Structure 1
């Protein structure tokens, strides 16, 4: 009886241990399965996060590359030096600012990347609009340059014609001026002695020479200015001293003349003989050679000389 009881107790205890063992085994496998599931899920999440992060980095790089392309496009547009240059500089600065913002941005979110893409799109549209305007201005400038070149050709031709006319005018004026000048010749100087009767005779003797008669002829000129003409006579002795009135006249152009006397004539375009007389202050002229210069204002137009023995 006791033996039967012991066998039953053992069987019961064994059954309890068996059930507990199965439960423990199930629990352990269950925990292991949960742990494996959690680890698998964590790895999957990490892989998904890595993929997302990689896509963001690629998007960030792609946006930076596009912005750099925009910057280069603005550099090219600025080379045209149009009236939009200042606006283009501002747009280029906007591109550079966005590039700096993206470069310093660490692990940007998808929302930030989306915002960058919108800004990139706006900058592209602005560039396209500016490029079209630059092309339009460039075309206008080209047409304007063509028009200016055409006008320059016309102006050059007109200037050449004007220069020719001016040259002809100056040549004509010079010709008229030269033609209107009076031509003088027959420059003479003779010594005279006066007889008691008043008659004057030529002499070459110094002791007899009481006066010097100086004369010249004006040729006829129909286009020369008519009216009173004044000429200045300068007589120099052997010591280069100016005889006669010995007066100084200035002509207002830093030129002056010391003359012996003045002769005047009423010129009317026809030939005219002009003369003047220089009297000796001492009754006669000393021996030697005397030089006579004829002036029309400050310009000398003739000369003569006489030697008295």
Structure 2
């Protein structure tokens, strides 16, 4: 009887121990599973955080490169890059839980999308700039060619003007001087003796010129004796910085045809020797000759 009671107690203890063992095993298994699950979640979260950080770093580098191109959108790009930098700072401080990671991912995709749009706009600006640069270069080339052509035209016009000026100058020919003695009857007798001379007759011809203007032309005649004295009126005319002492002036009406000019220069006590006669057109010597009295 006692043996049966002892066996029953032993069985009860064994049963209790078995239940406790099973319970312990179940608890240990659950704890192990929970730890593995938490480790898996933590590992996954850290991996996601690192991935998002890497993506943000790449996005920042892309912004840096775009800003370095110094386009008209640099200001906007800098502002967007600051958003990326701030997001990286927030991500670094975060615990990396699922909710936070979802928020950071969403913000990353928004910034990435914004960058794509701005990149397309920058590319459009680059194309426009290239077209404008090409058009500007073409315009500069055309302007350069036009400038050269105009310079050639100006040169030709200047040459033509000079040619016309030269062609329009009147030519004075056949400058001659003769000495005469006047008789009481008014008759003039040519002589070469200085003591008998009463008047010098000076003559010259203005050649025909179809290019020159029809106008009144004034010539200054200068007669210098053998002692370097200017005969006649001895008046002075100024031409810029130069001045001229002349014997007389004569005004001729020129109408493109040949004109003969003759004028007397009266005087007395003419010196023996060689005389020089010069004809000036506005200070420019256009003809000269000489004669002698004995």
Q: Same fold (TM over 0.5)?
A: yes
2:252 is the counterpart of 1:276: no
Counterpart-to-counterpart distance in 1, 2:248 and 2:223? 9
2:34 is the counterpart of 1:45: no
Report the Cα offset of residue 29 of structure 1: 9.1
Corresponding residue for 1:82?
A: none
The within-5 A match list for 1:45-84 is 45-69=38-62, 71-72=64-65
Corresponding residue for 2:180?
A: 192
Report the Cα offset of residue 249 of structure 1: 2.3
Counterpart-to-counterpart distance in 2, 1:267 and 1:125? 83
31-40 or 53-62, which moves further after superposition? 31-40
- Cα 1:53–1:168 change in 2 (3 A) is closer
Q: Secondary structure at the match of 2:196?
A: coil
Counterpart-to-counterpart distance in 1, 2:74 and 2:197? 99
| C-alpha contact (below 8 Å) 2:84/2:111 kept by paired residues | no
The gaps in structure 1 that reach 5 residues or longer are 1-7, 79-84
Within the candidate set 147, 171, 183, 1:183 is matched to 171
Q: Secondary structure at the match of 1:293?
A: strand
Corresponding residue for 1:81?
A: none
Corresponding residue for 1:112?
A: 104
| C-alpha contact (below 8 Å) 1:53/1:107 kept by paired residues | no
Within the candidate set 298, 301, 308, 2:283 is matched to 298
The gaps in structure 2 that reach 5 residues or longer are 95-99
- Cα 1:140–1:180 change in 2 (3 A) is closer
Counterpart-to-counterpart distance in 2, 1:95 and 1:302? 89
Counterpart-to-counterpart distance in 2, 1:38 and 1:295? 131
| C-alpha contact (below 8 Å) 2:60/2:85 kept by paired residues | no
Report the Cα offset of residue 186 of structure 1: 0.9
Q: Secondary structure at the match of 1:53?
A: helix
Counterpart-to-counterpart distance in 1, 2:139 and 2:210? 50
Report the Cα offset of residue 73 of structure 1: 5.3
Counterpart-to-counterpart distance in 2, 1:170 and 1:30? 120
Aligned length: 281
Report the Cα offset of residue 67 of structure 1: 4.2
Corresponding residue for 1:137?
A: 128
Counterpart-to-counterpart distance in 2, 1:172 and 1:250? 30
| C-alpha contact (below 8 Å) 2:174/2:205 kept by paired residues | yes
Deviations 1:20-39 (A, max 9, x none): x9979987996797577546
Corresponding residue for 1:219?
A: 207
TM-score of the pair, normalised by structure 1:
0.68
2:119 is the counterpart of 1:127: yes
Corresponding residue for 1:285?
A: 270
- Cα 1:159–1:96 change in 2 (3 A) is same
- Cα 1:173–1:129 change in 2 (3 A) is closer
2:194 is the counterpart of 1:202: no
Within the candidate set 237, 240, 255, 1:249 is matched to 237
Q: Secondary structure at the match of 2:194?
A: coil
- Cα 1:32–1:71 change in 2 (3 A) is same
| C-alpha contact (below 8 Å) 1:60/1:102 kept by paired residues | no
| C-alpha contact (below 8 Å) 2:178/2:190 kept by paired residues | yes
- Cα 1:238–1:31 change in 2 (3 A) is farther
Report the Cα offset of residue 129 of structure 1: 4.4
